[in-house]
Each structure stands twice: as structure tokens, then as C-alpha cells.
Structure 1
Amino acid sequence: MRDRRVRSGEIGLAVRVRGEENRPTVVLVHGYPDTSAMWDEVAGRLAGRFRVVVYDVRGAGASSSPSDPLDYRLDALMGDLEAVLDGVGADEPVHLVGHDWGSVQGWEAVIGDRLRGRIASFTSISGPDRRHMARWARAAVRSGPRGVAEVLGQARRSFYMPVLMTPRVGEVAARVLAAGFGRVMRLREGAEPRSGHPADTLAADARNGLGLYRANMRRRSGTAGDGRTDIPVQLIVPVKDRYGSQSLLLSARGPVPRLYVRRAPAGHWVARSHPELIARWISEFAEHIDGGPETPGLAHARAAGAPVERLHR
């Protein structure tokens, strides 16, 4: 493992690289309130085939925090990802993997123009795109009572978002979250806490990460466009995820024509509870996109990623 420090404006990003330099690059981006150590088990399994890059996002772990507590906008996070790619010498397009807020960032990377040509594939875990989410909610409400019930069900799952966005109340919630995070991992996710995860910096990470919600989840943040991307996307849907319904997490159907859908028998932190499965699926997908054969599992995932109206023809 090789530790590096990458600058992105005023931010210093802690980056760790595993694997040989001449291999295809996989970049793993963590969510809230994690650090890059969340990926350790997956990264270790991938390092035999790929060069694996992980980094602590701004405000988390060993990375520094912005002077403005709201400087967590997605355009700033895209600048951080670009700085990491430059800092590790990623001259060829990389295979991007994101979990939770890391997945939200990944969607921004493959849909927007800033990193065009630098992403070969994207694997999304438990983090829908904002445009897909808005499109899904509108279509569900128009579809009738069942769709309205799905939107209301997701609203109940997302009850914590307005709490975290509220000044002072969010700070209290972040402290409670940090205090109980290890217990949640053990009892609800089936993943034992271990050295590095939860991180020693968890209390500060949870507080700093409130900026993700406050900078990006308000109406003024906008969700322009239809969320279309031609980059191949593998969507891993943990069927026991307490925070995102399967209906919401499948909202990429339609805007993403090259979509592969795989369902994992796990909760939100599937990378911790099922690292062997996640590493295998990432490997199969990346190797196929790089020219390798399509495994039977990937063929099934491609069929599952077809828009619903095509599935019923």
C-alpha cells in the first residue's frame, strides 16, 4: 500500500493506492459517515487484479475540511475526484465505484461533462442520482395510489435527511449517529466493527459530513437534465437496505441504456458484510468492460437492467 497526499484547492486529500501500477485502475469512493477504510476488505481482494485507489473525501478521516462548512457541493467534490485521478497518474479511463454519497458523486461524474473520457465504467451501491430520484418520484405519483405509497415509503426511510439539514439539530443527530454506529454495523448489518471502521475520527466525520446534505439536498441545488449517460453502469441493489427502497435504487432504468442490475442479499453496508461478493462483481464488470467475456451473471444483470417497458414486451 502506498499513501499519498493530493491537493484540491485548499483541501488536502488522503489517498491510498494498492496493487501494481501497470494494471487497470479501480477507484472506490466512500459515503457518509465513513472513511476510505470502509473499503479495506473489498480493496484487498481487488488488488490482485487491479490498481486500487481509495481516498478520504473532504471532511473525513485524514483529509482536511473546507473553511466553509457548506463547501461540499457536488462540483467541489468533482474537483476532488479529478485531483485524485491526476494525483495518481490515471492516464487511462478508470473503473469508478461509489457507495452512498460516494455513489451520488459517481453519478455526477458519469453524467456531467467535467470528467468526460476519464471514466470507463461505474458501479453504484446504495446512492441514487438526484435527477433519477426526481424523475422516479414524479412518475410514481402520476401512476396512482401504489406509486404514491412507494414515494411515501421512501420518505419514511429518508426521515433523517431533514434532521441532518437543520442547524443545531443536525449536529445533535450527528453525535447520536457516531455514538451508535458500531452497534448498527453489528446488529443491523451483520458486520463486526474492526480496526479502521468505524474510524477513530467518526465523531468529527459525522459532523463535517452534514455539509453534504446541506449543500446538495435543498431545492436551490437543482437537478437539471434527465440524468442520461452512455457510460456502462453496474447497479448493486442491497435488498435489505433500510435507507433506499429497491424502487428508488432502480430509478436509473431508462436514462442509463447500458445498465446492469444485481441484487445483493444484504443491507446498506454490503461492502463490509459481503466483501467477497462485491469484489467479485466489480472485477467481473470491469474486466468485461475492458474487453473480457460476459459472464452468465453479467448477462442476467444486463437483462435485469432493461427498462421496465422492455421487460414486459
Structure 2
Amino acid sequence: MKLIRLAPDAREVTAPRRSTVRNGPIELAVFEYGPRDSRTETVVLIHGWPDTHHLWNAVVPLLADRFHVVAYDVRGHGQSTDPAGVDDFALAELAKDLFAVIDAVSPDQPAHVVAHDWGSVTAWDAVCEPGAANRIASFTSISGPNLDHLGKWVRDRLSNPTPRNLWGPISQLLSSAYTGFFKLPVIPDAFFRVAGTERIWTQALRIMEAMPDQHLEFSETLRADMISGLRYYRANIVERLLHPRERRTEVPVQLIVNTRDVAVRPAGYDDTGRWVADLRRVDVAAGHWLPYSRPELIAELATTFIESLTTESDTAATKESL
């Protein structure tokens, strides 16, 4: 893949245009950067647990000179509404939030989506909804699988239990062991009330990702976000893995697969092409938090992907007119 080299010195985040988007009772804090006009395509960035829109602070300036860039705090995080129930964090509800943001910030044309961790899991649910291609132009997924696809991958491997087939689900189970702790009542909440400090989380990421501290930036709501976001795990994992749905999409998807990801093993994406009409995959020798460790790579890959789709669309339109 030929990458488009972006300016390496564009590191400062300009002051965003702050607004609020409503989805029923949920108010989502939305932050916009770069030009917003009919000639400029929109890129929506979605973070995961336990981050906020701050996750993208090093990525935004690398995109905002080419695109209308939008980041938002997902429900239960940062400046957005924190609903009370576990069911409020079901993927269907999170996907509705994404569509509400897209409808507000890009009402006249589909938006491109770049998402990480649970933000990516959410976007997977959205792009598999009927008519999603009318609202989402492309999806770049980072460290967050489609849980239905993952559930079917596990079932298929276990139905033919060769050593190679068994190793994939076993390795993913080992990598996901922490989710069992997160799903417990009371105990993980109490743990993060004590351990959910910026100092401890910085140390944890430095150990897991081997990155300098200066690459990390968190919201002042970090501890509350850690606790609130546990409902992602409680609302979705068991249901989707035990009862996976047949979920397909016509939205072009780019998988950025981090081969050193401590949470999501690369093998879990091996069957993704069964459900995606237009799939591109890029394997990167990096850990889970790529927006912190390699923001320039995310910007380059996303820009190249989006511009390749634009070129293909223009070529197809030219052929039709001849």
C-alpha cells in the first residue's frame, strides 16, 4: 500500500468547536476540527474504554488539514451523559449514538469512521445495520472486533478441533481473561475507585505498550470513565459470543491489526472477509493503544484508504458517463 506522507510537525490540537448532539435522553459532547463545508469529507473518530475524545489528540491535527474531523465522548465517558443502566450500554444503543452524531455533523453526505477498542466494536455494529452505507462511507477499525464475527469464528474453530484451530480461540481467551474480572459485580468498581488514577494508568500503559509518558493524555474524568465503561463488557460480551448473529456490510472496511495487541489477537480477524464486501487489512507490529503510540500511522492509513475510495468512485463515475 502506498502511504500519503503527512506533515510530521502538525502536533498541536487546535481549539475544537464544542457542541452537543442528542440521542433521546443521551447528550453527547462533540468536538469538531478543520473546515466544515460541502467540499470537505467528514471523519468521525470514536474512542473506547477508558478513554475520551482526548485519545485522538495526536491524530486530529494530522487529519484536520484535509478533512472535517469530529471526535465525541461516548455515553458514560467524559462530558457525555452517563445513563444508569447496564442495558443502556448495549451495542445497538451505542450505534444509535454514532448515527446521531453523523446525522448532526455530516447531514448531506456519508462520513468516514475511524474507531478504536470499544469504539471500533460499536462501529462494527453500526456498519452492519441495513442502509449503513448511506451514512457511513468507510470504516477504519483498530483493536476492536465485530463480536458477532468473533463468536462465529470461535464456533467454527471449535467445530473442527485441530490443534491449530483450537489455539486461536484459546489464545484469545487468555488475552481476554481480564474481561471476566470486569464483568464481576462490585469488585472491579471498587478496584478502579482505588487504582483508577492517572499515575497508575500511565504506568500500566507504559508497561503494556512500552511508550513514553508524554504520548499519553487523559480526561480528568478517568476514574469515573473506568467504572462507567465496565458496562460495555457486562452488556455485550456474553450475549454476542454465545448468540452471534449473521452480520454483513457493504461499507468498505480497513482493518488495522496490531500484532502485539494484549487484548485482541490477530487470528480473530481471519474470517472477516466472509462478512465484508470490501475489506483491506494492514498488520502493524504494535500494541493495543495505537492512537497513542503511532498517531501518524493511523492518519496515513486512514487518509490513504479514504482517498483510494474517492479515486475508485471517480473512476467508476467516469466509466458510467462514457
Which bracket does the TM-score occupy, shorter chain normalised? 0.7 to 0.9
2:118 maps to what in 1?
101
Quick check: 1:17–1:51 contact (8 Å CA) kept in 2? yes
CA RMSD of aligned residues (A): 2.2
Summarize the alignment of residues 234-253 of structure 1 with structure 2, pairs less than 5 Å apart: 234-253=254-273
Report Cα offsets for 1:136-190 as digits up to 9, x if no partner. 1112223312211221111111011121111112313434662432112223223
SS at match of 1:211: helix
TM-score, structure 2 as length reference: 0.85
1:258 aligns with 2:258: no
1:291 maps to what in 2?
311
In 2: Cα distance, 1:147 partner to 1:222 partner: 18
Quick check: 2:21–2:28 contact (8 Å CA) kept in 1? yes
1:146 maps to what in 2?
164
Given the superposition, is the C-alpha separation of residues 71 and 193 from structure 1 closer, same or farther in structure 2, using an over 3 Å criterion? farther
Quick check: 2:44–2:70 contact (8 Å CA) kept in 1? yes
Quick check: 2:151–2:241 contact (8 Å CA) kept in 1? no
In 2: Cα distance, 1:128 partner to 1:162 partner: 18
Q: What is the one-letter code of the residue matched to 1:153?
A: S
Quick check: 1:126–1:249 contact (8 Å CA) kept in 2? no
> Which 10-residue stretch deviates more, 167-176 or 126-135?
167-176
1:20 aligns with 2:35: yes
Given the superposition, is the C-alpha separation of residues 14 and 192 from structure 1 closer, same or farther in structure 2, using an over 3 Å criterion? farther
2:17 maps to what in 1?
2
1:219 aligns with 2:239: yes
1:183 aligns with 2:223: no
Q: What is the one-letter code of the residue matched to 2:204?
A: V
In 2: Cα distance, 1:281 partner to 1:195 partner: 20
Q: What is the one-letter code of the residue matched to 2:74?
A: V
1:8 Cα offset (Å): 1.6
SS at match of 2:272: coil
Quick check: 1:25–1:90 contact (8 Å CA) kept in 2? no
Where relative contact order (Cα < 8 A, 6+ residues apart) is larger, the structure is 2
Q: What is the one-letter code of the residue matched to 2:234?
A: R
- Residue from 198, 203, 207 that aligns with 2:227: 207
Report Cα offsets for 1:14-45 as digits up to 9, x if no partner. 10001101210000100111111101111110
Identity score, percent: 39
Quick check: 1:164–1:173 contact (8 Å CA) kept in 2? no
In 1: Cα distance, 2:169 partner to 2:140 partner: 25
Quick check: 1:69–1:208 contact (8 Å CA) kept in 2? no
2:178 maps to what in 1?
160
Q: What is the one-letter code of the residue matched to 2:310?
A: D
SS at match of 1:17: strand
1:170 aligns with 2:188: yes
Given the superposition, is the C-alpha separation of residues 145 and 195 from structure 1 closer, same or farther in structure 2, using an over 3 Å criterion? closer
1:304 maps to what in 2?
none
1:90 aligns with 2:113: no
2:57 maps to what in 1?
40
In 2: Cα distance, 1:288 partner to 1:81 partner: 24
1:120 aligns with 2:137: yes
In 2: Cα distance, 1:29 partner to 1:189 partner: 20
In 1: Cα distance, 2:93 partner to 2:131 partner: 11
> Which 10-residue stretch deviates more, 176-185 or 24-33?
176-185
- Residue from 282, 288, 291 that aligns with 1:271: 291
Q: What is the one-letter code of the residue matched to 1:125?
A: I
> Which 10-residue stretch deviates more, 30-39 or 256-265?
256-265
Q: What is the one-letter code of the residue matched to 1:146?
A: R
Given the superposition, is the C-alpha separation of residues 273 and 6 from structure 1 closer, same or farther in structure 2, using an over 3 Å criterion? same
In 1: Cα distance, 2:288 partner to 2:80 partner: 24
1:69 Cα offset (Å): 4.3
SS at match of 2:29: strand
In 2: Cα distance, 1:203 partner to 1:244 partner: 23
Quick check: 1:182–1:198 contact (8 Å CA) kept in 2? no
1:60 aligns with 2:60: no
Given the superposition, is the C-alpha separation of residues 176 and 240 from structure 1 closer, same or farther in structure 2, using an over 3 Å criterion? farther
TM-score, structure 1 as length reference: 0.87
Q: What is the one-letter code of the residue matched to 1:160?
A: Y
